[in-house]
Amino acid sequence: MTARGKRCGPRALAPVALALVLAAPACGRDAERTGERLREARSRAAPAEREWRTYLADRGASHHSPLDQIRRANVARLEVAWIYEAGDAAQDGTSQIQCNPIVVKGVLYGTSPSLRLFALDAATGEEIWSFQPAGGRSRLLPNPNRGVAWWAGEAEGEEGDDERILYTVGHHLYAVDARTGRAIRSFGNDGRVDLRDGLGERASSGASVVATTPGTLFEDLLILGSRVSELHDAAPGDVRAYDVRSGAIRWVFHTIPRPGEPGHETWPPGAWKDFGGANAWAGISVDAERGLAFIPTGSVAFDFFGGDRAGDNLFANSLVAVDARTGERRWHFQTVRHDLWDRDLPAPPNLLVLERGGARIPAVAQVTKTGHVFVFQRETGEPLFPIEEVPVAGPGLPGEALPASQPVPIRPPPFVRQRFGEATVTSRTPEAREAVRRRLARLRTGPLYTAPSLEGTVEFPGMDGGAEWGGAAWDAETGLLYVNANDVPWLLQVTPVPVDLDPARSPRAGYLVVCGGCHGADRRGDGAAMPSLVDLASRLGPLDAWRVVRHGRGRMPPFPSLRWYEIGGLLWYVYTAGDREAGGEAEAAGGGGETRYLNVGWQKLLDPDGFPAAEPPWGTLAALDLNAGTLAWQIPLGDYPQTLAEGKSGLGAESYGGPLVTAGGLLFIAATPDEKLRAFDKRTGELLWESPLPAAGFATPATYEAAGRQFVVIAAGGGKLGRPSGSRYVAFALPAEDAPGVVQGGPR
């Protein structure tokens, strides 16, 4: 059914038909109509265990559903059940929807590209209410959103239950009434909390602090990490627990330890005041029975040079178990010491139970960008598979304090390749192979942990994994952990820049400091996530560009600390650099004295035609047996549209968004740039079904039951890997006649 409640046939995604069935979301419904639609939706609700009430299915991030109405035998009969047009997609392809929606009491909650929150009847896709956060439909919001949290408790001082949606927009955490869509004014400051509060001087001066992944609930606490800048002015990555009723901070875990706290000795003196990052942007898992929260952290800022932060740098790049009621550390394991490669832990860990010698062991499994899975005993942190030390290959940059080695689990085996060389160079065409080989001769290559360099170090897998924020799915029935992965090389190259640089005096050097780390020294970006600035004048006027630098947009953080004339100098350089660089008049970095090193751009290592420089597959889907520590199966996942245009398929592609596994023997995943949702046999990896989407589904699907019918829903938001932006949620189900137990007016 469409958002207006009209039935769609199985070919509803054909372009002409799609235009006929889509309708704009309703808005401004009065309270009576909202209440009526809420009651209708709830009358068709399934029991809690048959819904999708939490981001990634549950607080253990299992991505698993017990539903089995859709099975291997009938999945080929799936058809479009309804489509919801969320609206406000950016025409320039910069917006995304990364939301994994939740379904509670027959109501689906999700977000639009501009982070408008909405509630839908989960059985029909009809809108119940909509909440527009402060600032309206701004395209300058600095972060995508991967989901929301639902909490229920007894209302204080009122009759009835208290149900609220907690979700983040920019640097604010909102509390919204789950039944009416209205802000809960008693929460924080008139319904919202500023995430920068309590983070110290850097955050209060305007440093970027947002939360891409929803917080995780434990009792009356919302435990929340953050995403911060990756430059030297980054805010601290402290993890906070907020009171769900008042918005007050109940506890804080300092990821860069302060004096007297464990791990403080792994930093130079005063580091907790001088450095930021080490943040938990990927999400947090909670074991409610044991009262433990498991926090995966990322690298400290700045990512690629650590000469000023000698030591292991706890608790960056660590899995940290803390008391969920107090934030007190119970145990930790650091997966990368003194990170110089941007090897953040990219996803919330999976909580699972393993079988060892007839005993059931509570475990926690953490996937990584390097393609490893670290598995620990959940209560003690004891590794459940052996871990060895591998050397770090130098030389490091002048002044760097390279770690001697890094920990790597022996089992399970890595699910991506980990060294780039002659054997992995593309053979797509003889010309492409020879071009990559010539370039490779000028670059530094080596084992997994090879130090950054001025000439450029090949990082394989790249900075986006391996595993990415979509994370892994756990299936207790098979004992398999399913993970989609990127398998393409990147180039890590740095350039020296004086610490005392004044961007206003040297616009080119200022550009390198502020912009070059993402858009590259040549302003060309990577052609996908990091757009080129060479032709900026044709896409964005100076005033709009000034606003983007000041306030941020999409993946780009804001730079509120830059003075107006410094932004002006940067933009003058961007708009005019082409002519001046062509004439050999580019400015030198300038400055003098102490030197720091900056990344010259997020660069994928590509062949001359824009394809990954490695031999396919460029993206995979793998199943790992965590009881045996083995790889059960692995297949290429998805394709780039460019390879399909050449008549080639099955080469794999980068993917963003994770898998969903069900008791019906199926694994569903979108995530790839070829704009499809697929279903695989979870035991063998056999492709059983696929359907086109109106835009790439760079999100994790959800499944739930409503009106006796199992649905699979995916946000088709596009906006990555060069794909157009979209704004639709698409729900699939079996035809009504194939779904036993379908009801029209009441619960099953």
CATH number, residue 594 = 1.10.760.10
Model confidence over 185-225: pLDDT tens digits? 999 999 999 999 999 887 766 788 999 999 999 999 999 99
How many Å apart are CA 525 and CA 203, to the nearest integer? 28
CA distance to 135, 385, 408, 435, per residue, from 354 (Å)? 48, 12, 20, 47
pLDDT class for 576, splitting at 50, 70, 90?
A: confident
Model confidence over 148-159: pLDDT tens digits? 999 999 776 555
506 is a domain residue: yes
User: In this predicted structure, what is the pLDDT of residue 495?
Assistant: 87
How many Å apart are CA 195 and CA 149, to the nearest integer? 16
What are φ and ψ of residue 732, in 5° steps?
A: -110, 150
Number of domains observed in the structure of the chain: 1
508 is a domain residue: yes
pLDDT class for 523, splitting at 50, 70, 90?
A: confident
The model scores a pTM over 0.85: yes
Q: Which domain, by its residues, includes 580?
A: 494-600
User: In this predicted structure, what is the pLDDT of residue 660?
Assistant: 98
686 is a domain residue: no
- pLDDT at residue 432 above 80? yes
Query: What percent of the chain is predicted at pLDDT more than 70?
Result: 86
User: In this predicted structure, what is the pLDDT of residue 580?
Assistant: 56
Residue-wise burial string across 129-165, b where 16 or more C-beta atoms lie within 10 A, e elsewhere = bbbbbeeeebbbbbbbbbbbbbbeeeeeeeeeebbbb
pLDDT class for 748, splitting at 50, 70, 90?
A: very low
732 is a domain residue: no
575 is a domain residue: yes
Supply the DSSP string of 486-554, one letter for each residue.
E---EEEBEEEEETT--TTT-HHHHHIIIIIHHH-TTS---SSSS---TTGGGT--HHHHHHHHHH-BT
Model confidence over 681-708: pLDDT tens digits? 999 999 999 999 999 999 999 999 999 9
CA distance to 87, 195, 724, per residue, from 24 (Å)? 7, 32, 19
Write a three-state SS string for 341-394. CCCCCCCCCEEEEEEECCEEEEEEEEECCCCCEEEEECCCCCECCCEEEEECEC
230 is a domain residue: no
How many Å apart are CA 151 and CA 55, to the nearest integer? 12
Average pLDDT of the residues of the chain: 89
How many Å apart are CA 264 and CA 29, to the nearest integer? 54
256 is a domain residue: no
- pLDDT at residue 512 above 60? yes
533 is a domain residue: yes
